[in-house]
Amino acid sequence: MIDHAIILAGGFGTRIRELFPNVPKPMIPFHGKPFLHWQMELLAAHGFRTFTLCVHYMADHIINYFQDGAELGLTIHYSIESKPLGTGGAARLAANHLEKPILLMNGDTFYALNYREFANQHDAGRANDKRLVSMALAYVDNVNQYGQVEITDTQQVLSFREKSVSTGQAGWVNGGAYIIEPKVWSFVSPEQPVSIERDTFPALLAAHRPIKGYPSHTRFVDIGTPSGYALAETILQGASR
């Protein structure tokens, strides 16, 4: 069973730093708890008990708060970047020694999927289609601010389109959560800044390595902007009752 989650929590949070200048983005508070706490509670409810947090910017804030995770009934490890490595480099640093698939998540997006179902679907399908990645896909009204993911009728990922300033249209976007097989890390250069979204995933497609989409209409929010923060405040207010 896939039960190890790696969360990318090392970003600078430049788009929302005006509101929270002294707090790393994953530690922005929502109704008495840091956002990262909300994320891990959601994943724990779906059977994920072991976490590795990829940290860099203001790492001590995160480590001092969560420590080893015992108070939350979890096991928490830390992968500390001495320099920014991007999403792909950070993920490789944390996961390259692991021999089983993991759940990888961005530490600044809230996407209330059934993560157990997501992981189980990956497990069930990988023997048939040799997928190396399953990617959570979110349906949004305007793909321009995220970049669009094109998929087939069988949810096979075909391509990625970059962010655009053209007229907005609805469609599927990267939901910031992935089930990743260990073979993926051979596509990521060690100790180098790499974007898993812009570099690694397109490289997999170019090498004809399957990426399977997991589409969902569950509400998706990026907390890294003032408008996203306000929306997350509303969503998590309901969850806190």
Return averaged pLDDT per consecutive 10 residues of the chain, 241 residues in all: 96 70 88 94 96 96 97 97 95 96 94 95 91 96 87 95 72 95 96 94 96 93 85 80 49
Given the structure tokens 């397109």, which residue do they identify?
202
For position 227, what pLDDT does the model report? 85
Measured distance CA(190)–CA(182) in Å, rounded: 14
Measured distance CA(161)–CA(145) in Å, rounded: 11
The pair phi, psi for residue 55, each rounded to 5°, is -125, 150
Q: What are the sequence ranges of the domains in the chain?
A: 4-239
Given the structure tokens 């480590």, which residue do they identify?
63
Given the structure tokens 């947090």, which residue do they identify?
53
Instruction: Please state the length of the chain.
Output: 241
Measured distance CA(199)–CA(87) in Å, rounded: 10
Measured distance CA(126)–CA(94) in Å, rounded: 23
Is residue 123 classed as helix, strand or coil in its secondary structure? helix
Neighbour count for residue 11 (Cβ, 10 Å): 22
Measured distance CA(216)–CA(233) in Å, rounded: 21
Is residue 203 classed as helix, strand or coil in its secondary structure? helix
For position 85, what pLDDT does the model report? 95
Quick one: CA dihedral 143, 89, 55, 100, positive or negative? Answer: positive
Measured distance CA(170)–CA(162) in Å, rounded: 15
For position 146, what pLDDT does the model report? 82
Structure letter (DSSP) for residue 171: E
pTM: 0.93
For position 239, what pLDDT does the model report? 63
From the list 210, 214, 162, 222, the residue with the least C-alpha distance to 184 is 210
What angle do helix axes 226-239 and 35-44 make, rounded to 10 degrees? Answer: 50
For position 240, what pLDDT does the model report? 55
Structural contact between residues 204 and 160, judged by C-beta atoms closer than 8 angstroms: no
Give the CATH superfamily of 4-239.
Spore Coat Polysaccharide Biosynthesis Protein SpsA; Chain A (3.90.550.10)
Q: What angle do CA 212, 229, 89 make, to 5 degrees?
A: 45
